[in-house]
């Protein structure tokens, strides 16, 4: 055997052995929460960690006789680091569940570890459709870009937006958003004038926006990952695109509640589609937002926080259902089919796909009580990931 293969084989068997041991350990139940706590996606890590800790503070740290231990690791959103951390968490810490995953490449890099070690991998952020197909141990509590994009492509042509340019981050979720938005626009009689892709790392939107200005579409459809929306908005406004009659539309990642308040007057009226708004008018959400902002002064929960909060719930309920005795397979089975009221609205983990089924809301940025919010004005109920039905 070549040396590299040998090392790989040893690592794989360590993962497999760890799978058998994980629940025998003691009375602790370990959740390895891998997040980007630093770097370009750091706001995602901060939101999810805060939400996971809030869930634990509200629901206690003992479930079915097990003491829950949350182990937070910073992957700096580098997929190789995510994979190494996942491996260490499984082999050394013997975690019962892997969770987090701020971006698609990080979730995909971990899939083989989840499969080999039979450890449930709860994806709380990453949103490319295909992620759940990368391992039978993946369960998702965030959303998918096809889910969010299709609703907007149904809304736009009915509201005077026929000619659109798309601008997306050039990786999994952006390509999903571009494809599903475009297909549905064409189906609805609209036109896609051009499809532009901007690098994920250190994007410079200026040259792309200049091109859009020259093309003069009715609207620019944008997907950028959480944390990058404010930069797009700033440059869109600085170039006077709105004054030139070009509307900005997109998935709710762009008018991210984490940044929206700092985007200023220019953001008013921007229409997006998404599964969660801080302003979602339900008692469950109000309770969540109040508790989150109280525990984290100056921060309001965004869709990443909700993915983390609901992910913790899915883990807690699986532990409860298996009476603290289940290994990875039993936990996974208990995660499938969970249905509950999330701060986002009703939510369901489809047992077949292990993906989230949820409402998608159309929202418009408005000022309320002196702050900017995504105010919901329409809803498409119980949306399954359209990326799965083909």
Residue ranges binding ligand PHB (CB under 6 A)? 103-104, 125-128, 172-173, 225-226, 253
Smallest gap from residue 63 Cβ to ligand PHB (A): 29
Contact assessment for residue 273 and residue 361, using Cβ atoms and an 8 Å cutoff? yes
Closer of 161 and 222 to ligand PHB (Cβ)? 222
Closer of 190 and 225 to ligand PHB (Cβ)? 225
Question: In this structure, what DSSP letter does residue 220 have?
Answer: E
Q: Alpha-carbon distance 315 to 335, whole Å?
A: 7
Smallest gap from residue 175 Cβ to ligand PHB (A): 11
DSSP letters, 71-96, are EEEE-TT-HHHHHHHHHHHHHTS--S
Closer of 79 and 266 to ligand PHB (Cβ)? 79
Q: Alpha-carbon distance 229 to 233, whole Å?
A: 6
Closer of 75 and 253 to ligand PHB (Cβ)? 253
Smallest gap from residue 246 Cβ to ligand PHB (A): 23
Chain position carrying tokens 């469950």? 284
Contact assessment for residue 166 and residue 196, using Cβ atoms and an 8 Å cutoff? yes
Smallest gap from residue 82 Cβ to ligand PHB (A): 12
Smallest gap from residue 258 Cβ to ligand PHB (A): 10
Chain position carrying tokens 């370009």? 40
Give the residue among 334, 390, 363 at the shortest CA–CA distance from 176: 390
Structure tokens at 81: 């680091």
Smallest gap from residue 229 Cβ to ligand PHB (A): 9
Q: Is 113 helix (H, G, I), strand (E, B) or coil?
A: helix
Closer of 87 and 128 to ligand PHB (Cβ)? 128
Closer of 225 and 326 to ligand PHB (Cβ)? 225
Give the residue among 200, 264, 263, 254 at the shortest CA–CA distance from 227: 254
Q: Is 268 helix (H, G, I), strand (E, B) or coil?
A: coil
Classify residue 27 by burial, with Cβ atoms within 10 Å: 0-12, 13-18, 19+.
Answer: exposed
Give residue number: closest CB to ligand PHB: 225
Classify residue 31 by burial, with Cβ atoms within 10 Å: 0-12, 13-18, 19+.
Answer: buried
Give the residue among 265, 260, 248, 355 at the shortest CA–CA distance from 307: 355
Closer of 32 and 45 to ligand PHB (Cβ)? 45
Smallest gap from residue 259 Cβ to ligand PHB (A): 11
Smallest gap from residue 30 Cβ to ligand PHB (A): 25
Closer of 126 and 331 to ligand PHB (Cβ)? 126
């Amino acid at each position: 055997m070549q040396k590299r293969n040998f090392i790989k084989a040893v690592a794989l068997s360590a993962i497999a052995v760890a799978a058998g041991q994980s629940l025998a350990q003691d009375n602790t139940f370990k959740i390895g929460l891998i997040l980007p706590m630093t770097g370009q996606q750091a706001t995602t890590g901060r939101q999810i960690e805060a939400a996971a800790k809030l869930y634990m503070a509200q629901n206690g740290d003992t479930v079915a006789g097990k003491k829950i231990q949350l182990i937070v690791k910073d992957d700096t959103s580098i997929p190789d680091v995510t994979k190494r951390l996942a491996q260490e968490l499984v082999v050394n810490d013997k975690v019962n569940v892997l969770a987090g995953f701020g971006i698609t490449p990080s979730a995909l890099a971990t899939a083989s570890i989840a499969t080999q070690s039979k450890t449930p991998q709860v994806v709380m952020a990453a949103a490319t459709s295909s992620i759940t197909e990368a391992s039978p141990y993946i369960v998702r509590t965030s959303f998918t870009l096809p889910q969010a994009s299709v609703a907007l492509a149904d809304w736009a042509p009915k509201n005077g937006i026929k000619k659109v340019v798309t601008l997306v981050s050039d990786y999994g979720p952006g390509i999903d958003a571009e494809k599903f938005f475009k297909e549905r626009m064409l189906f609805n009689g609209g036109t896609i004038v051009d499809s532009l892709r901007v690098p994920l790392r250190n994007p410079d939107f200026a040259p792309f926006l200049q091109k859009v200005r020259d093309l003069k579409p009715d609207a620019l459809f944008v997907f950028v990952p959480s944390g990058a929306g404010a930069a797009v908005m700033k440059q869109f406004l600085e170039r006077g695109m709105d004054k030139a009659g070009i509307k900005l539309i997109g998935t709710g990642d762009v008018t991210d509640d984490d940044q929206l308040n700092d985007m200023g007057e220019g953001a008013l009226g921007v229409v997006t589609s998404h599964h969660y708004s801080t302003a979602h008018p339900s008692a469950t959400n109000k309770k969540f937002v109040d508790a989150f902002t109280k525990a984290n002064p100056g921060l309001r929960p965004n869709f990443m926080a909700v993915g983390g909060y609901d992910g913790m719930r899915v883990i807690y309920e699986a532990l409860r259902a298996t009476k603290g005795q289940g290994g990875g397979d039993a936990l996974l089975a208990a995660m499938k089919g969970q249905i509950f009221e999330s701060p986002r609205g009703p939510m369901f983990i489809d047992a077949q796909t292990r993906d989230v089924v949820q409402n998608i809301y159309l929202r418009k940025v408005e000022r309320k009580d002196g702050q900017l919010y995504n105010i919901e004005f329409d809803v498409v109920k119980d949306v399954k990931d359209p990326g799965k039905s083909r």
